Amino acid sequence: MAIPALKFFSFVLLIVALTELNMASDTMSKTQFNNISDSENGTLVSNDGTFELGFFTPGSSRNRYLGIWYKKIPLRTYVWVANRENPIEGSSGVLTINSTGHLVLLGQNDSIVWSADYRTSPVKGAPTFELLDTGNLVLRDTDSHNYSENYYLWQSFDHPSDTLLPGMKLGWDLKTGVERRLSSWKSPDDPSVGDFTCGIELSRFQELVMRKGSEEYYRSGPWNGIRFSGAPELRRNPLFEFDFVSNESELYYTYHLTSKSVTSRIVMNQTNYQRERYIWNPTTRTWKVFASVPRDYCDNYDLCGAYGNCIIGDSPVCQCLKGFIRNSTEKVTDWSEGCARNKPLECERGDKGGFMKLSGLKLPDTKRSRVDGSLNLRECRAKCLNNCSCTAYANSDIRGKGTGCIMWFGELIDVRQFSDGGGQDMYIRLHSSELEKDDHKVKIVVTVLSLILVVFGALLVAHYIRRFMTRPSTSDNTQTGELISQNNEDQSPNLELPLFDLPTIATATNHFSISNKIGEGGYGPVYRGMLENGQEIAAKRLSRSSGQGLNEFKNEVALISKLQHRNLVKLLGCCIQGEEKLLIYEYMPNKSLDLFIFDQTRSKLLNWPKRFSIICGIARGLLYLHQDSRLRIIHRDLKASNVLLDAEMNPKISDFGLARTVMGDQSEGNTKRVVGTYGYMAPEYAIDGLFSTKSDVFSFGILMLEIITGKKNRGLYHLDRGLNLIDHAWKLWKEGRPLEVIDPCFHVSSNTSQQLRSIHVGLLCVQEHPEDRPSMSDAVVMLSNSSTLPQPKQPGFSMAKNNLGADSLSSKHEFTSNEITVTLLEAR
């Protein structure tokens, strides 16, 4: 009995010893792991294995840096760098605690490359460092068993690089004066401090400010108790919780993930000057951008000047606040001079004016503001009214019914307006007469409207009475009938296509003489001619060497004969004789659009109203092809040279030879044979041979931008020549200078809102993803009314993004001009 008891006892002892040993080694790894050496590939891993601290070489650099990254994420992503400004050459780096108890990074010859600067005076026991599961590298006194951050001698979370991890505080420790500010890497190869930063500035009231160098770049708007006033999309979500803390000792923004299985970070990205929130997608093993700012160009700091108001969707986006007018109308796109009061205040002379309520705003820059949290809105108003330099006030905290008072002194800048429920109320000071005027205006409008209604109603009644009386002998029906058939002649099913014989056409075109040749279309020369009855024609003679066979020819003839629309070139007939195949069209005296828009002298003949009507005409023609005709026709080669102009410069789309009918609802097809023109082809069509009405929309977008700008889109093969037209337009758009893309010939024009709108629609049409592009019917509506338009996304075939696709195509086929119509067999 004794022996087993002893055995059992020693077994228990063994377990205890093992456990103790285990514990000892556990503390070892935390406390005595005092050296991390690059030459020994040493790293320090957080307890749960999420983060790793070690040495690395970023991008194509050859330098070594000490940093922290996600251990479990295969795409190496650095969240913190110690020696940002002092890289180590070679693998001599060692992270250690030196003899005076400081955390130092030693480089060559044991020189100190970086050290953790902590204010607390050196401690009795030797400090140790530790990498927490949050990604925080902390330095603690060995004796201290306090794990609260108050007892850290130093922590990396107080010295962020470009990344804000969950639990980090962006802002100030007001007691110690430590500012935690994010700053981008200079480049993916160089983690040193770039010029793109984000933090909370004490000169302002509770807002995040991003700077590009020393310039303000983006402002979040003041924290209003629920969110930042300029970030209505920051709301409760299943992914993360956010908070803003403001008291005597602390002022910061922070967030926490709600689930441990989600990995997310915020990063300042100098590549595109965006602050981005990424989410790790474990299935695709990529970082996905969840949100980013600035979101649009109204987010650009102070875009619209003093008392300006940026409204995305309006054209121009810059407007003046109510009661203000622009004080410079010379500069169409530059609003830096801002707006001035319709009627200056006369406060000093005793007329204090009053306040007008504006809603849905991102509150103005708080640089010159004052906050009194104890006042309610009524008291706030009284206080503002009594100080002549107070220009506006609002609630500083909108929770509940709203409390607190924020007042602005001097000019109001960087205001924007949100359409869908975002933003908040502000009360702006105006001259008393402005407030009454507004009342007046409403009254007048209401009176006028009711008058119009009454008159209109009376007319309507009269009309019906007349109509009712004359009904038996009505001729109204035939009139409307005619109207329909004018637009939509494909109603008549047995439309007969005249067949011309060859001698007739030969005579008409002077035996196809060179002097009668007016162009060379995709499939052969086009001749001008005159029939015996005096009618002018254009005869397209299909070259025998062209790829078009009898089938395609018949297809084209059948198609075109069924399509009649004001904005389509009319086919008069055809001629088939032996090898000879001809199409006879009506003659267009002004030839094609490209001869005008790309020609320096002739482009002057097309002023903006003309150009706009041409754009609308093409849009209607294309819409007819896509929707209104009984057949659903995809053009597939829409371009400037395929748009002809009649004597009144009305546009007519030509060349349906490439159009392929897809019957009924089929609006998409897949083809191995890509036919089209570089520079106009949608990415999905050029690369994958996928065509749809949306690939026509893309070509239409390009064509539109060409008409607006007077420049050719250089297509996707000029990789070495920098930006193409879409890139250029997109860049200007994002920078808030969209109008600068316009043809200088008619830049000075009063119709800027129409121009802006056209650029906007153009950019929507050339978006990379077909599903994002509007349909032609959407496009027609967008062009014709003034509703709010969605923001365009990245265009297709932008150099910035699609280098891969562009490269693979351009390396296979060397094109030198986008005028060449190409037929690519098996584009894959």
Ligand X SMILES: *[C@@H]1O[C@H](CO)[C@@H](O)[C@H](O)[C@H]1NC(C)=O
| Site for ligand X, rule CB under 6 A | 34-35, 40-41, 94, 96, 98-100, 102, 104, 108-109, 111-112, 115, 144, 146, 151, 245, 247-250, 267, 269, 271-272, 306-307, 327-328, 337-340, 370, 387, 389, 409
CB of 807 to ligand X, least distance (A): 17
Instruction: Give the helix/strand (H/E) hosting 619.
Output: helix 608-623
CB of 786 to ligand X, least distance (A): 27
Q: Give the integer Cα–Cα distance in Å for 101 and 82.
A: 18
Q: Give the integer Cα–Cα distance in Å for 790 and 800.
A: 22
Q: Please give the structure tokens belonging to residue 825.
A: 């067999």
- Choice between 132 and 702, CB closer to ligand X: 132
The alpha carbon dihedral of 762, 766, 769, 771 has a sign of positive
Q: Exposed/middle/buried for 185, CB within 10 Å: 0-12, 13-18, 19+?
A: buried
Nearest CA-CA partner of 622 in 491, 483, 759, 775: 775
- Choice between 44 and 619, CB closer to ligand X: 44
CB of 96 to ligand X, least distance (A): 4
- Choice between 328 and 753, CB closer to ligand X: 328
SS3 content of the chain, % helix, strand, coil (to 5): 30, 30, 40
798: left (phi over 0), alpha (psi -120 to 50) or beta: beta
CB of 167 to ligand X, least distance (A): 13
Amino acid at 502: L
- Reduced to 3 states, what is the DSSP secondary structure of residue 712? coil
Residue 774: asked if its preceding bond is cis (omega within 30°), the reply is no
Contacts of 285 (CB under 8 A, 6+ apart): 74, 75
Pairing relation of β-strands 354-362 and 190-200?
Answer: unpaired
Terminal-to-terminal C-alpha distance of the chain: 83
- Choice between 252 and 523, CB closer to ligand X: 252
Q: Exposed/middle/buried for 279, CB within 10 Å: 0-12, 13-18, 19+?
A: middle
CB of 268 to ligand X, least distance (A): 8
DSSP state of 795: B
- Choice between 8 and 151, CB closer to ligand X: 151
Q: Please give the structure tokens belonging to residue 724.
A: 């193409």
- Choice between 383 and 747, CB closer to ligand X: 383
| Other Cβ atoms closer than 10 A to 764 | 22
CB of 145 to ligand X, least distance (A): 7
* Contact (CB, 8 A) for 415 and 310: yes
Q: Residue 228 to residues 16, 205, 476, 483: CA-CA distances in angstroms? A: 55, 11, 61, 56
CB of 424 to ligand X, least distance (A): 22
Q: Residue 164 to residues 143, 206, 293, 570: CA-CA distances in angstroms? A: 30, 18, 15, 63
Nearest CA-CA partner of 621 in 544, 688, 567: 567
- Choice between 332 and 595, CB closer to ligand X: 332
- Choice between 223 and 500, CB closer to ligand X: 223
Q: Give the integer Cα–Cα distance in Å for 157 and 205.
A: 23
Nearest CA-CA partner of 241 in 231, 227, 229: 227
CB of 466 to ligand X, least distance (A): 57
Q: Give the integer Cα–Cα distance in Å for 228 and 70.
A: 30
CB of 98 to ligand X, least distance (A): 4
Q: Exposed/middle/buried for 452, CB within 10 Å: 0-12, 13-18, 19+?
A: exposed
Tell me whether residue 637 is one of the annotated catalytic residues: yes
CB of 101 to ligand X, least distance (A): 8
- Choice between 385 and 649, CB closer to ligand X: 385
Nearest CA-CA partner of 615 in 582, 572, 645: 645
DSSP state of 29: I
- Choice between 189 and 520, CB closer to ligand X: 189
Catalytic entry in 299, 414, 637, 696:
637
CB of 269 to ligand X, least distance (A): 4
CB of 748 to ligand X, least distance (A): 20
Strand order across the beta sheet in which 208-212 lies: 182-187, 190-200, 208-212, 215-219
- Choice between 100 and 601, CB closer to ligand X: 100
Q: Please give the structure tokens belonging to residue 158.
A: 């107080």
Distance of CA 651 to the CA centre of its chain: 31
CB of 400 to ligand X, least distance (A): 19
Q: Give the integer Cα–Cα distance in Å for 828 and 822.
A: 15
- Choice between 273 and 301, CB closer to ligand X: 273
Q: Please give the structure tokens belonging to residue 448.
A: 């006028």
Residue given tokens 């996304």 in the structure block: 793
Distance of CA 278 to the CA centre of its chain: 17
Q: Give the integer Cα–Cα distance in Å for 145 and 140.
A: 9
Torsion angles phi and psi, residue 619, rounded to 5: -60, -45
- Choice between 135 and 521, CB closer to ligand X: 135
Q: Please give the structure tokens belonging to residue 31.
A: 């406390």
Q: Give the integer Cα–Cα distance in Å for 335 and 328.
A: 8
The residues carrying an active-site annotation are 637
